[in-house]
Amino acid sequence: MSQQSNDFLYLFRGGADPKQMSPEQMQQNMNKWFAWMGELRSQGKLKAGQPLGDEGKVLSGRKGQTVTDGPFVEGKEEVGGYLIVSAQDLSEAAGMAKGCPIFENNGTVEVRPIERIPGM
């Protein structure tokens, strides 16, 4: 049996494409991310998070026996990173995500509650 914690996962999809940006634009974009995450951190809301690399493997089939290179999804669907934040409830977590710089580049933030399994 699982129980809900006060932790929420932000999954980032799409957004700025570094291959389409000048070094100055990349730096400006990163500065916006650092400022937003810094604000969450200063409020004691940011717990963890990292960007994800482009390469990977996808396991499927019975017992994960099929292994393919991936993920190969359209850029706007690719999960580019994640954060774990603390909030009172899903509504507060979604409200905190509204300041994310990804929206300036048509990206999305999926906000999901993290369930806890007792004893784990």
Q: Give the tens place of pLDDT for each residue, 47-66.
A: 999 998 878 888 888 888 88
| Per-domain boundaries in the chain | 3-115
What are the tens digits of pLDDT across the range 10-34? 999 989 888 889 999 999 999 999 9
With bands split at pLDDT 50, 70 and 90, how would you rate the model's confidence at 74? low
Give the CA-trace dihedral at 14, 64, 115, 100, to 10 degrees: -10
> What pLDDT is stored for residue 3 in this prediction?
58
* DSSP letters for the chain: --EEEEEEEEEEES---GGGS-HHHHHHHHHHHHHHHHHHHHTT-EEEEEE--S--EEEESGGG-EEEE-----TTTSEEEEEEEE-SSHHHHHHHHTT-GGGGGT-EEEEEEEEE-TT-
pLDDT of residue 2: 53
pTM of the model: 0.84
Q: Kindly state which CATH superfamily the domain 3-115 is placed in.
A: Dimeric alpha+beta barrel (3.30.70.1060)
